[in-house]
Structure 1
């Protein structure tokens, strides 16, 4: 791609975002002069940048939009829906055009076809019914979908087709995915094309474990079936619903991501993200090799070469310092603000609330908080489910809010803040809240709990049933909810990123979902322990202290065991039993001292018996994914200096 065009797309996205925010601000407060001035500057700058290239009608449309804003600045026209809606349509059209410009360096034919309608909208010449359909018109058909349709146009007369572009992740095989097997499950497949994304490498460079395929297909099945098939990999798939004649943009609808930004990664970095990722990979390998020097030093000492062992350890400490600095610099380069994800929601909330007939305000705070690019890009899907939950289930209609003495306009908060080495993201609303009794009744009806359990469980625990797979209290299925695949998917996504999800709710007051995530996939200090002949890693941050406890101090308490530590009774568990390994030494009556780790389990301290503490290690921990992500008690994996993979335990989950 031409360097000037690459620079244009970067600046255009920033200006589009600025103009969108200004228009939203003007919609809420038409008299806000600074927002009007800012929107004018953004459109003016965008027009000037577009004038450097041959982008067909783009500059002319932006010139018309600039004229409208100039008239508003001079007081010749009022700031209202008649001004804001046409300008928003232009901004969305520019936003949709940027992706095609990045790929081809020009405006696509489909985008050019929409230019006359936009001009008519800006000059007020469009009929009222056409104006109401502008949002649907702007959902364009991508060029690749048009090309697929042309391949079967003469032989396939289906009234409705689903165009699919499936771009599998290069490491998808390690996640348990089989792209060809997945695509084969599409119903009524009419066309299938498989190509490679990169030139065929030489035999010595070929990596059979890396997926470089690009899969395109046409299906005559339903859109809902296709969305269900790709539900777990939405970031890798684009679905386009082609209706009737695809030559007319009015009868085509792009499906999949609810926002044009949803499928994009953070390519606005001045350095290609893949290069940053490669540096991070190299830093991780250096860490592994650095750790390999420790056993080498021990081997040298055991063979009588004490001086050599000391020199190896000295080099190890110096390399450890340098690698730590390198890793810190690389991870800092991958940090991007949460604004990348947060800025997609104002438009989505506005359109969805209008569809539901609800008036509300979206309040966004903390969008400048930074986190790893992979975490920020992966946050959109879980946040989307939570915001939709607030829109559909939380916020009441105007009549209901007035009946309970609430302001007519509802509120949804999307906020973020940094707490130590974690980010805390909160999605809250001031709606009707979640009725614990209704959840309890639904859980009883579905056989999830008995009547005795239902009466004994406190409301806080009852609310956790909303995260159960397939659980829903909705009486009917809508476009937004009722299928029971929302909150369980949110919890799975958050766990996959190494985070936690909490829910708080009060009837007629509102609900609050809190996501806590690591800022980055950083180096983790692990304590390596042995049990049953195997080694496992436990994050040192989860360990309060270690103790040698005489077996004679162990006491039986009901069905369990415990010991006294500084006048506190500490429950005692055995790691081997938690991992369903061989019977513990406690059960067999072995005498002597036990090696016990005091770990956190919620707000309590729990003792966990291990057979031995092997070593401490600083390494990169990766969370489990795909097929392995739901394995209980396993937080992730780490590669050790000897090349072996170490399972990292989630002690809080194991101890529950």
Structure 2
């Protein structure tokens, strides 16, 4: 039962997100037939899943919601905010219930107490539906149902009639389903037809274990009886009640049948992410073992065994190729669309904007862009803060926007774009923007800088103070902002994901935040350097170039040192001093200097020696070492030694 509950929770979250997305789309465009069909299917499938368990009133609530959507599809009730509001309330209630159900296996008492209110909201709308039915309405009948209805004698059409279009899943036999036994349980079966969903395969390609049937039937029973027959497989069947009389005027234009992605369903499966993570870990161990072949080849060459050294290096190159392919395949397996995070925001923006009394549109673009699962799942918190920031601080009230000749409705853009091996996620609004003078005054009031210092800083530099911990320009505290938990938390979250956060803002035009993130946590090329008796790894992506610097070229600058490189003054730091190694002291003679980039600045970092370059998998710090500044993680060298990987930007700061 625990496994069934876990499976239910996974599927329910997906269905809830889909229903929420479709209902919001339907609210924006009531004529969107595709959204209406998709929302109905999501609620219908969810109701079928709930029917497997005893979740109190959830089944009845979903049945009422499904009935409302069914009437909306048939054009019997108007699709407007009055309809969407109670349906969204039901979806949110189920979403809130899933976590408790996955832990305890049943609906919590607190969630159960909310059920009567939801039923009241739905029943209120049902009452409106009944009134509208008394006036009269037309029913939209799909073309396939009309064709079935025409095959039945007129004498058989009296009473309730249900048209059934049943498409068994291609692998239904492996799920224990028997399509013929299922269809035979329909009461008062008046018509039955079998056909193939696709052209028959050649005899050599025929697979007797896959089902390609399309079953159409007409039942004289009730809709509830037909639903009971297909309660475990609601996603494989379409049920259409026919009018009680064969009035052709009740038939609307044939409806385009929603396409089913049977191929996609049959070629995908859910895999516990922990299993993929374990494979990635094993691949990392193999990479470390592969790197150990190089010193082994050097040892063989030094002992005069050149042929053995060449064979070892040949094996090393072959392993490198295979491991590269393996790791690439594993990282691809971890990739998911950013839609998994993006789709949580439309409902949140709708509710928050209504609470703030601000009319706005959330525009989402690029939701199909893929990134590592860990990156996508950890995007929600920083994006939530940025979107709330735009809602509260950025978007102006309608009257203020009209006064400045802006559209009455505000606009927040959430967009993802792939750029090489990274993704850019932009959160932009067309609100009032950030006033540099306001930020400058707030920084002075908080003692972050003096008036003389503030006067020489550019507007762009001043705006960077919004990332200082505890900094806020809010004059009052609300449940959305003004509590000192500011953009520094967003910046730190982005840094933990290996990315950067950029800000652009113009007064009266709006504000844009861009999160630049890696697509995946892939293998890293490291430059191994020596400082005293210690070795450290520095990501090659952080190193612009290496430079041999004569000591005579070093110039004192205030309390520090610098040198000139191609007419540009570069500050000089010693890695031994940055790491606070007690026994370390600068060596005489020419210095080996790494030119690293931190933000927009170039810094020279002196090391004692540059040992080698390795390609490896970096692991984040855990336990007591977690959170140590300047250390990005650890990795294993080929000889089994642990190498600390440095975060140069954090170390220099």
Give the TM-score normalised by structure 1. Answer: 0.71
SS at match of 1:393: helix
For residues 74 and 49 of structure 2, the distance between their equivalents in structure 1, rounded to whole angstroms, comes to: 25
Do the aligned residues in 1 keep the contact of 2:83 with 2:125 (CA within 8 Å)?
A: no
SS at match of 1:469: coil
Do the aligned residues in 2 keep the contact of 1:521 with 1:622 (CA within 8 Å)?
A: no
SS at match of 2:495: helix
**Which residue of 1 is the match for residue 230 of structure 2?**
none
Tell me how far 1:10 sits from its aligned partner.
4.0
Aligned pairs, how many?
512
Gaps of 5+ in 1: 128-267
For residues 577 and 554 of structure 1, the distance between their equivalents in structure 2, rounded to whole angstroms, comes to: 17
For residues 123 and 597 of structure 1, the distance between their equivalents in structure 2, rounded to whole angstroms, comes to: 71
Matching of residues 460-609 of structure 1 within 5 Å:
460-551=460-551, 560-565=561-566, 572-580=572-580, 590-591=588-589, 593-603=590-600, 605-609=602-606
For residues 500 and 53 of structure 2, the distance between their equivalents in structure 1, rounded to whole angstroms, comes to: 47
Tell me how far 1:527 sits from its aligned partner.
1.0
Relative to structure 1, the CA distance from residue 394 to residue 403 in structure 2 (aligned partners, 3 Å threshold; closer, same or farther) is same
Relative to structure 1, the CA distance from residue 571 to residue 58 in structure 2 (aligned partners, 3 Å threshold; closer, same or farther) is closer
For residues 531 and 326 of structure 1, the distance between their equivalents in structure 2, rounded to whole angstroms, comes to: 34
Tell me how far 1:333 sits from its aligned partner.
1.4
Do the aligned residues in 2 keep the contact of 1:574 with 1:609 (CA within 8 Å)?
A: yes
For residues 8 and 525 of structure 1, the distance between their equivalents in structure 2, rounded to whole angstroms, comes to: 42
For residues 481 and 626 of structure 2, the distance between their equivalents in structure 1, rounded to whole angstroms, comes to: 25
For residues 472 and 628 of structure 1, the distance between their equivalents in structure 2, rounded to whole angstroms, comes to: 31
**Which residue of 2 is the match for residue 619 of structure 1?**
616
Tell me how far 1:124 sits from its aligned partner.
0.3
Tell me how far 1:533 sits from its aligned partner.
3.0
Deviations 1:515-540 (CA, angstroms, capped at 9, x unpaired): 11111211001111112332222222
Relative to structure 1, the CA distance from residue 125 to residue 65 in structure 2 (aligned partners, 3 Å threshold; closer, same or farther) is closer
Deviations 1:367-401 (CA, angstroms, capped at 9, x unpaired): 22212222222221111211111111111112221
For residues 397 and 433 of structure 1, the distance between their equivalents in structure 2, rounded to whole angstroms, comes to: 14
For residues 472 and 2 of structure 2, the distance between their equivalents in structure 1, rounded to whole angstroms, comes to: 50
For residues 610 and 345 of structure 2, the distance between their equivalents in structure 1, rounded to whole angstroms, comes to: 48
Do the aligned residues in 1 keep the contact of 2:360 with 2:411 (CA within 8 Å)?
A: yes
Tell me how far 1:465 sits from its aligned partner.
1.2
Indicate whether 1:277 and 2:277 are aligned.
Answer: yes
Indicate whether 1:641 and 2:642 are aligned.
Answer: no
Do the aligned residues in 1 keep the contact of 2:500 with 2:515 (CA within 8 Å)?
A: yes
Matching of residues 283-362 of structure 1 within 5 Å:
283-362=283-362
Relative to structure 1, the CA distance from residue 481 to residue 627 in structure 2 (aligned partners, 3 Å threshold; closer, same or farther) is farther
Tell me how far 1:459 sits from its aligned partner.
1.2
Relative to structure 1, the CA distance from residue 284 to residue 119 in structure 2 (aligned partners, 3 Å threshold; closer, same or farther) is same
Deviations 1:65-124 (CA, angstroms, capped at 9, x unpaired): 222223223333221122111111222233334445545555555545444333322110
Deviations 1:126-167 (CA, angstroms, capped at 9, x unpaired): 99xxxxxxxxxxxxxxxxxxxxxxxxxxxxxxxxxxxxxxxx
For residues 407 and 444 of structure 2, the distance between their equivalents in structure 1, rounded to whole angstroms, comes to: 35
Do the aligned residues in 2 keep the contact of 1:576 with 1:583 (CA within 8 Å)?
A: no
Do the aligned residues in 2 keep the contact of 1:574 with 1:608 (CA within 8 Å)?
A: yes
For residues 53 and 630 of structure 1, the distance between their equivalents in structure 2, rounded to whole angstroms, comes to: 44
Name whichever of 19-28 and 605-614 sits farther off: 605-614
**Which residue of 2 is the match for residue 116 of structure 1?**
116
**Which residue of 1 is the match for residue 372 of structure 2?**
372
Matching of residues 155-174 of structure 1 within 5 Å:
none
For residues 480 and 400 of structure 2, the distance between their equivalents in structure 1, rounded to whole angstroms, comes to: 20
Do the aligned residues in 1 keep the contact of 2:18 with 2:42 (CA within 8 Å)?
A: yes
Do the aligned residues in 2 keep the contact of 1:498 with 1:635 (CA within 8 Å)?
A: no
Matching of residues 169-188 of structure 1 within 5 Å:
none
Gaps of 5+ in 2: 128-267
SS at match of 2:618: strand
Deviations 1:599-654 (CA, angstroms, capped at 9, x unpaired): 33445655443321101111112345798676554443333233333232344555
Matching of residues 431-446 of structure 1 within 5 Å:
431-446=431-446
For residues 556 and 383 of structure 1, the distance between their equivalents in structure 2, rounded to whole angstroms, comes to: 44
**Which residue of 1 is the match for residue 391 of structure 2?**
391
SS at match of 2:367: coil
SS at match of 1:528: strand
For residues 602 and 48 of structure 1, the distance between their equivalents in structure 2, rounded to whole angstroms, comes to: 54
For residues 503 and 338 of structure 1, the distance between their equivalents in structure 2, rounded to whole angstroms, comes to: 21
For residues 380 and 576 of structure 1, the distance between their equivalents in structure 2, rounded to whole angstroms, comes to: 39
For residues 51 and 630 of structure 2, the distance between their equivalents in structure 1, rounded to whole angstroms, comes to: 58
Do the aligned residues in 1 keep the contact of 2:524 with 2:539 (CA within 8 Å)?
A: yes
Tell me how far 1:585 sits from its aligned partner.
8.2
Tell me how far 1:54 sits from its aligned partner.
5.2
For residues 18 and 585 of structure 2, the distance between their equivalents in structure 1, rounded to whole angstroms, comes to: 65
SS at match of 2:452: helix
Tell me how far 1:542 sits from its aligned partner.
2.7
SS at match of 1:417: strand
Give the TM-score normalised by structure 2. Answer: 0.71
Do the aligned residues in 2 keep the contact of 1:504 with 1:511 (CA within 8 Å)?
A: yes
Tell me how far 1:455 sits from its aligned partner.
0.8
Q: What RMSD in Å do the two structures reach over aligned CA positions?
A: 3.2
Tell me how far 1:410 sits from its aligned partner.
1.1
Relative to structure 1, the CA distance from residue 570 to residue 471 in structure 2 (aligned partners, 3 Å threshold; closer, same or farther) is closer
SS at match of 1:622: coil
Do the aligned residues in 1 keep the contact of 2:287 with 2:616 (CA within 8 Å)?
A: yes
SS at match of 1:476: coil
Tell me how far 1:301 sits from its aligned partner.
3.6
**Which residue of 1 is the match for residue 430 of structure 2?**
430
Deviations 1:197-240 (CA, angstroms, capped at 9, x unpaired): xxxxxxxxxxxxxxxxxxxxxxxxxxxxxxxxxxxxxxxxxxxx
**Which residue of 2 is the match for residue 199 of structure 1?**
none
Tell me how far 1:2 sits from its aligned partner.
6.5
For residues 449 and 77 of structure 1, the distance between their equivalents in structure 2, rounded to whole angstroms, comes to: 62
Do the aligned residues in 1 keep the contact of 2:395 with 2:430 (CA within 8 Å)?
A: yes
Relative to structure 1, the CA distance from residue 111 to residue 269 in structure 2 (aligned partners, 3 Å threshold; closer, same or farther) is farther
